[in-house]
């Protein structure tokens, strides 16, 4: 019973690692870029 459970967990971790690496290489992880303009008010007394 313990060997079967250990093998199942090991296989799940293996597939999870492969899926994570595949998503990191093939997924679009680049951020959206846009121009931001903010007015600055200076107190020049």
Task: State the pLDDT confidence band at 41, using cuts at 50, 70 and 90.
Answer: confident
Kindly report the backbone phi and psi dihedral angles of residue 33, in degrees, each rounded to the nearest multiple of 5, phi listed first: -110, 140
Task: State the pLDDT confidence band at 45, using cuts at 50, 70 and 90.
Answer: low
In a domain, 37, yes or no: no
- Please give the angle made by the CA atoms of 37, 30 and 22, to the nearest 5 degrees: 165
- The domain of 9 spans 1-25
End-to-end CA distance of the chain: 80
In a domain, 42, yes or no: no
In a domain, 15, yes or no: yes
Task: State the pLDDT confidence band at 7, using cuts at 50, 70 and 90.
Answer: very high
In a domain, 32, yes or no: no
The tally of domains found in the chain comes to 1
Task: State the pLDDT confidence band at 30, using cuts at 50, 70 and 90.
Answer: confident
In a domain, 39, yes or no: no
């Amino acid at each position: 019973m313990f060997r079967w459970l250990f093998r199942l967990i090991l296989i799940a971790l293996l597939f999870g690692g492969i899926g994570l690496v595949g998503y990191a290489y093939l997924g679009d992880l680049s951020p959206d870029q846009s121009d931001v303009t903010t007015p600055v008010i200076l107190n020049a007394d």
